[in-house]
Amino acid sequence: MFRITKEFHFSASHQLTSLPPDHQCARLHGHNYIVEVELSAKELNEHGFVRDYHDLAPLKRYIDQSFDHRHLNDVLGHEQVTAEYLARHFYEWCKARLPETSAVRVSETPKIWAEWRP
């Protein structure tokens, strides 16, 4: 199986209001997110690619226009905007446009990652 990945960055705030009030994530806070999209294929296309990296430009536009420097609770319309939820959200968005999408990872800090891989 061939695999490629591409990384995207954005900064945004969120608040996990279902947590106890003394939990640090219950307070309004922000992260410098990293989104890593993985695409996989058993065979390469006629150009020797899994997929041309330029085909991921719509994801960059989507992230820049809808997520960067926004409050994610407002963007996604709920209060459980976790890295896990974001990984699944971006996976579903990508899979609908790029059938080779095999996983998405989201990082809130340099030491933690959440992944959605069906």
Query: Which amino acids are annotated catalytic?
Result: 25, 69, 108
Assess contact for 32 and 11: CB atoms under 8 A.
yes
Interatomic CA distance for residues 118 and 116, integer angstroms: 6
Nearest 5°: the CA angle 107, 112, 116 is: 60
Q: How does strand 101-109 pair with strand 70-71?
A: unpaired
Assess contact for 52 and 41: CB atoms under 8 A.
no
